[in-house]
Amino acid sequence: LIASSRMASTDESSAQVVGTTRWLRLETITYSTEDGVEKKWDRAVRTTKSRNPAIPDAVCIKTCLQTDDGDMIVLVRQFRPPIGKYTIELPAGLIDEGENIADAALRELREECGYQGGVVKSVSPPLAMSPGLTDENVALVEVELPKQPAKGKQELEGDEEGRGLEVVLVKKEQFREELAKLAEAGNCIMMCVWGMAQAF
């Protein structure tokens, strides 16, 4: 652990709302540096954020599907309007109000991929996504899936429809090579997916 006589801190009560949409709120906050100097920072906040700090904003699911060709890593490809590109990501989604982390992960797997019968094996603590821009955090949930057809029945709705969300299955032993090919084809790879591939 890093020991410091002085710690920087954010005054949450200082948040001033600059603008709000259905899903996001832009705030200016005041924070104190380790030298005790007060400064300003702009951040984006999800309007769906839980009041319980132990509940993250969303889940990302790490899972493999058992097939006759071996274990396949489950990814999704979809169009992301903010960057104007198709991305390669882990299955993911927001946690609904009153929903627990495990149930959210299994629901997202069913909706985005059509996979059912999963068992949650582990749940990470809340993890930062882009801490220089937003206070959004997610839980990485590891799910064990039983063998089932690779083509499941998706349950897409709302903003998920019309963005070409599709399941991408990649063999474990070809993970790095397949991601490189997907990137070369113009897809933007989610940072944690690229990081996962480096471990194979």
Distance CA 41, CA 171 (A): 43
pLDDT tens-digit series, residues 5-26: 689 999 999 999 999 999 999 9
Q: Answer yes or no: is pLDDT of 42 > 80.
A: yes
Mean pLDDT, to the nearest integer, of 70-86? 95
pTM: 0.91
Tokens of 167: 């399941």
Under a CB-based contact definition with an 8 Å cutoff, are residues 191 and 103 in contact? Answer: no
Mean pLDDT, to the nearest integer, of 43-55? 91
Q: What average pLDDT does the structure give for the chain?
A: 93
Distance CA 87, CA 23 (A): 20
Distance CA 168, CA 183 (A): 13
pLDDT tens-digit series, residues 125-138: 999 999 999 999 99
Which pLDDT band, with edges at 50, 70 and 90, does 157 fall under?
confident
- DSSP, collapsed to helix, strand or coil, labels residue 106 as helix
pLDDT at position 158: 74
Q: Kindly give the pairing relationship between strand 38-46 and strand 24-32.
A: antiparallel
pLDDT tens-digit series, residues 158-181: 777 788 899 999 998 999 999 999
| Contacts with 26 (C-beta within 8 Å, 6 or more apart), sequence order | 17, 18, 19, 20, 42, 43, 44, 45
What's 118's DSSP letter? -
pLDDT at position 184: 97
